[in-house]
Structure 1
């Protein structure tokens, strides 16, 4: 009989909702096994139940009012029947979890090394000195440079990727046999994401760890696991070896999920179409139309004296009516700062902005912005209709009947219902809230919309719906779009031209097919090589190539 590290049979999870005694089923009859040293990916959209399954492996639903049925065994421990002491031994000792948001998982008031050392001491009889040494050891293992010194830093002093490495180090402190990673790379740049996935793969090979990876990103799963379990509405719709599920999916839902994944075609052989660094020149205006947007030598500095930081170091670009310019780059490249300058939310330190040929300062007329997180950009105490109406009132419209009619028209236009006017943001899904953000941007009939990471937190199917909506609105209304994102595959799908930013500069710019097909700058090639591939064999070759570079 196989000695499974994880053995789940008929797992069902119900959560209390509404009136006492009322429940909603989140997971319905899930069964799977995981052997030591193997990796299983659980994929599906938000609400599919995948994170609920992961939490059940550590008994995290205990005491929440949830009802569980079925059997969950981890490392031989029956999770439902385990005593509090057995659960403590299971959590961190046998199995450890890495969560999506490291900033909310780490205590902001304590040094990272102290937090890891505390976890180690809770599960062992180690002295403070030994626990401290173990913290430095695991931080070094996950690739934190100068681990002894950085262990004394607090979480806010780490980048997003470094914080995620610190969480993995904390999970490794007690030498678990199983690592559960719940969306560990969702908010990370493609290069940092590749590093984290490579790290997880290396830990599996080095320590024989079992890995349960929960993700909505099928490409991330393809890079990291041996087998896939696809979930929808709390149920398993398909499972099997990762290569088989990705190449010959049996379930219609799996096929739809894969069809929604944006892809980057393989680059053809041949020399680049441009030399690097041509991003300083505006695009040619061969059709004679006045550009909707022109930026000349835009520069933005923060702070003064020795603390002065240059976020954008002199960017020149232009955009025609109906055109989409994608801006890609890692966190800290300056792309979001540039986006805010383009609509006038940030004043440039130097340079000039022209909208429809007219130099502008302050909030740009005819320009709107769609932000990354619609939940935080919508007032939770107001109905979404009122939020959409704000730009109309700001433009001077005073007739409430006209305002309501326009808002209801916009809600319908973005795929919502007029009756949603008085509903609150928390009553909508992430994709629906983003549609509200788009409706609000459309309200004053802009000529330019700047979208800053508008789909980064959404499932692939919802991403596809939102990008399709933007493309449809653009065709209909002739709006120019600036699409800022770290997801190169999404940018490839929606853009006519693309600008690649690094260190506040545009290092490469041109037609999207040319930049992606024949990248001229090494940094662009590095970004493209880090994009997850749906082919497990290609992912393995890329991982080997990256390891050779790191070595």
Structure 2
């Protein structure tokens, strides 16, 4: 009997059919990736495997069997035994999955005690054991830490440890590496692979990142609009896809080995930063986020700033815009918040007021510049909406009525409203699937060419940075460790840290991914 057997699964939310007649199997110890864009239904399928739609009002039809349990017919008690016991799930956002008030070890111990009749001391010992197993250093001490004391990668490891506590036969990982740096992402994917080898558990990986799938699984099922488009061995689906949609999905994936066509860069300097330094805190608690950074930006040029979380790249971007004052150094032209330098933020949801229409948000820079004629303001907002690929009729809609890619277009329109010379883009596509990501990147390139904009593109995704950048600056611990023309930095990196980042980028070739994983394992052992 298969570990997972799904037949003709259909899931409806009201009038919306999220999953439409999906069937697949997963054998013991195997790994399957559900790949698709946002809204394709892949996360809905993952939730259906554990009966998480029960009681939500969703209508679920078809047959779902997981580790010998008929999920549709199971009682609530049988589902509780399945969840966390024989099948466990790791969610995309570890912060929302962990209780901020309780120590990590206590939370893992509590999950273990739900399924195993053991003492609190035994449960605590089990928590330490699984934390150690997923590579948390000094597991005894760190088990007493709360979630905010862990980095993003460590929080994701803690969630995996919680999932492993009861030795499940199936691990469901829903976008487990979306918000992680490339090196941390590689570590988490390597961990999942090692755990499969050691425990024999099956893995169902939900991801919009085709490269992550290539690194991690035996088979790929490509989804679109709730249906299976293509299903087969990972080498066949990614190496020689038979369906046009799969080929389009692969074509949209940014490649770290594909250089960008040169921009029309003028000699005019539009922004210059010299010796920038930014400290937070005072005295012994002072922390230097940016340390002696200098850069020059020309009209029509894109400067990519790449680095891991904590490297200082976002702090640098906020100083360039004027949202943070440098502790030392200078920016020319200066003068606090500069309307000629605008920012597109990573999370358009948090940067847009949910109580105001998108049209009102886009109009803010116009009013800040002194425009008082409401007719002209509305007409300009309509022009900007159409300029970024939205409709004038969207003016009175609210942020929750838009997709992630559409909300990012609203953020770009708002930045354009100030007629800037420079736009600082802080991780503008990190939360988007590859096709939406490609559309936003193409839009930024089009606007740059037409308006002569200079862009500072801040990101941890090295493939995206290469796709958009003329020059690249690599940051680590607040400093620029390497910079130069993009092709030079990517093809002949001089700094060991740059080489480390490039080696961690997911490869679309499963065989190359396996060789890289083996090389990382040998390096870790050495």
Common fold: TM-score over 0.5: yes
- Mark the CA change 1:76 to 1:421 in structure 2 (over 3 Å): closer, same or farther: same
Tell me if structure 2 keeps the 8 A contact 1:499–1:510: yes
Instruction: Specify the SS of the correspondent of 2:54.
Output: coil
Residue matched to 1:442: 416
- Aligned-pair CA distance for 1:65: 1.1
Write the deviation string for residues 424-465 of structure 1: whole angstroms up to 9, x where unpaired: 111100000000000000001100000000000001000000
Residue matched to 2:7: 9
Residue matched to 2:246: 254
Question: Which one of 125, 130, 150 corresponds to residue 158 of structure 1?
Answer: 150
Tell me if structure 1 keeps the 8 A contact 2:258–2:467: no
- Describe how 1:197-276 pairs up with structure 2 within 5 A: 197-265=189-257
Write the deviation string for residues 40-79 of structure 1: whole angstroms up to 9, x where unpaired: 0000001000000000110001111111111000111100
- Aligned-pair CA distance for 1:374: 0.5
Tell me if structure 1 keeps the 8 A contact 2:339–2:418: no
Residue matched to 1:128: 120
* Alignment partners' CA distance in 2, 1:444 and 1:91: 51
| Structure 1 gaps, min length 5 | 17-22, 268-285
* Alignment partners' CA distance in 2, 1:213 and 1:258: 18
Q: Runs in 1 of length 4+ with deviation above 4 angstroms? A: none
Tell me if structure 1 keeps the 8 A contact 2:258–2:466: no
Residue matched to 1:305: 283
* Alignment partners' CA distance in 2, 1:214 and 1:89: 23
Residue matched to 2:262: none
Residue matched to 1:37: 29
- Aligned-pair CA distance for 1:290: 3.5
* Alignment partners' CA distance in 2, 1:526 and 1:209: 30
Does residue 534 (structure 1) correspond to residue 526 (structure 2)? The answer is: no
* Alignment partners' CA distance in 2, 1:387 and 1:361: 24
Report the RMSD for the aligned CA atoms in angstroms. 1.0
- Aligned-pair CA distance for 1:204: 0.2
- Aligned-pair CA distance for 1:266: 8.3
Instruction: Specify the SS of the correspondent of 2:356.
Output: coil
Does residue 339 (structure 1) correspond to residue 322 (structure 2)? The answer is: no
Instruction: Specify the SS of the correspondent of 2:52.
Output: coil
- Aligned-pair CA distance for 1:265: 1.5
* Alignment partners' CA distance in 1, 2:357 and 2:84: 43
TM-score of the superposition, structure 2-length normalised?
0.98
* Alignment partners' CA distance in 1, 2:450 and 2:59: 50
* Alignment partners' CA distance in 1, 2:491 and 2:237: 28
Tell me if structure 2 keeps the 8 A contact 1:189–1:487: yes
- Aligned-pair CA distance for 1:88: 1.0
Tell me if structure 2 keeps the 8 A contact 1:347–1:361: no
Instruction: Specify the SS of the correspondent of 1:175.
Output: coil
Residue matched to 2:301: 323
Residue matched to 2:406: 432
More off after superposition, 493-502 vs 81-90: 81-90
More off after superposition, 63-72 vs 163-172: 63-72
* Alignment partners' CA distance in 1, 2:272 and 2:458: 17
Residue matched to 1:495: 469
Residue matched to 1:460: 434
Does residue 415 (structure 1) correspond to residue 393 (structure 2)? The answer is: no
Question: Which one of 521, 525, 528 corresponds to residue 499 of structure 2?
Answer: 525
- Describe how 1:312-391 pairs up with structure 2 within 5 A: 312-355=290-333, 360-391=334-365
Instruction: Specify the SS of the correspondent of 2:269.
Output: coil
* Alignment partners' CA distance in 2, 1:43 and 1:188: 18
Residue matched to 2:455: 481
Write the deviation string for residues 333-372 of structure 1: whole angstroms up to 9, x where unpaired: 00000000001000000001003xxxx1311241100000
Residue matched to 2:272: 294
- Aligned-pair CA distance for 1:250: 1.0
Instruction: Specify the SS of the correspondent of 1:88.
Output: helix
Instruction: Specify the SS of the correspondent of 1:469.
Output: helix
More off after superposition, 334-343 vs 362-371: 362-371
- Aligned-pair CA distance for 1:84: 1.5
- Aligned-pair CA distance for 1:81: 0.8
Question: Which one of 56, 72, 77 corresponds to residue 64 of structure 1?
Answer: 56
* Alignment partners' CA distance in 1, 2:257 and 2:279: 37
* Alignment partners' CA distance in 2, 1:361 and 1:317: 18
Write the deviation string for residues 473-512 of structure 1: whole angstroms up to 9, x where unpaired: 0000000000000000000000000000000000000000
